[in-house]
Every structure is written in C-alpha cells, then in structure tokens.
Amino acid sequence: MLDLLFLRYSKTILRGKNVYLRAPRRRDQRQWVDVRRVSREFLQPWEPTWPKDGAEPAAFRRRLRRFTEDWQSGNSFPFFIFHQNSDDLLGGVTLSNIRRGVAQAGTIGYWMGYPYIRRGHMAEAVGLVLDYAFDELGLHRVEAACLVHNNPSSWLLLKLGFTEEGLARQYLCIDGSWQDHRTFGILRSDRHTRN
C-alpha cells in the first residue's frame, strides 16, 4: 500500500492558476540553492537554525534523502512550488507528521523565497496541498503553527479557513531558541464548506 502511495505521490502535480506543485527532484538542486541563498536573511528568523552549508548543494542532497525516506514511509509529503509560466522554484509546502488510525491528521509547514513573497503564491499553494490532504489522502484534520509575531503567516492561515486554536509554549526551536507558536487547525468539513 505504501509503495503504491509513494509511486502516486512522486508523479503527482498539483496545478493552480499561477503555481504548480510537485515532489522535489534531484534536478531542482540549482534552483533550490539559488533561491535559498538569496533568501537566507529573510528565512533564518522563521526556521530551525541553518547549518553552515544550509544553502549549498550538500544541504539540498540531505533534504532530498530525508524527503525520500519520509515519502516512502507515508509520514510526509513535501512539495516544491513552481511558477506556472516560468517554472521558477518559488518555495515549498510540506504535509508532515501524518497520523492515521483515529486521528487521520497531519501538519502543514511552508516557506517562500524572498523574491516571491506577498504575491499570493503561498495561499494558492497551501490551498492546493489542503485539497490533496483531504481529497487524495483522506485526512480529517490539518494543523499548522506559526511564531506569535509572524502576522503574515497567521493571516494566511486564517484566510484559508484555519481556526486559531491556542498557544503552544516553546513549541519549536526556531533560529536557535525555543519559541512560542500560535496553533491553527482546519477540518475537511471546514475546507469543503469554503469551496
């Protein structure tokens, strides 16, 4: 079953009006390195501490190995976001921490390269991954969290129909310190009511 899911996922392309999403591939290395390098100062305050080679080919290869392991286990579905017309790599969205059984839930996280922020691409991309989570994977619930001072991210989640559910104290180690996060959730029924 997991092999079939992995095969289907690895060939999946989620298409929107302005962006499309697909699984990361080896050939994406150059674009990933370029967008991460130019976005380093913008992204570091919102992400776990970067290793010294955090925007280098070696970092990309490590991520790709981890992505592949996660796909094959069915625990995570990372997607890269590309512009529909130019095929430029804009950022990424990952549906991770997939819990089956009585939970049927997952967690969504995302990043956008600095040159592409505030253009509506992330809202479109996250919306496509939510559709995939609910319609393809059959999840009941998707969760998200953002730093308490990350207003653009919280606005994005609320715009997409997430409900703010609380505060998780020292939830994740971001940029070298344990930081509080606002937590959000969306149910399949919430998403389908909006469409």
User: Which 3 state secondary structure label does DSSP give 88?
Assistant: coil
Q: How far is CA 13 from CA 17, 53, 147, 157, in A?
A: 13, 29, 30, 22
Pick the CATH number of 2-142 from 3.40.630.30, 3.30.1330.20, 3.20.20.450, 1.10.8.590: 3.40.630.30
Query: Could you tell me if 191 and 131 are in contact, meaning their C-beta atoms sit under 8 angstroms apart?
Result: yes
Phi, psi dihedral angles at 60 (to 5 degrees) = -60, -45
Write out the two tokens for 107. 């967690």
pLDDT at position 90 is 98
pLDDT at position 38 is 97
Domain map of the chain by residue range? 2-142
Mean pLDDT by groups of 10 residues along the chain of 195 residues: 59 95 95 97 93 92 90 90 97 96 97 96 98 95 97 97 97 94 97 67
pLDDT at position 195 is 54
Strand order in the sheet with 19-22: 13-15, 19-22, 77-83, 89-99, 105-112, 141-147, 177-187, 163-174
pLDDT at position 5 is 57
The Cα 24–Cα 9 span in angstroms is 11
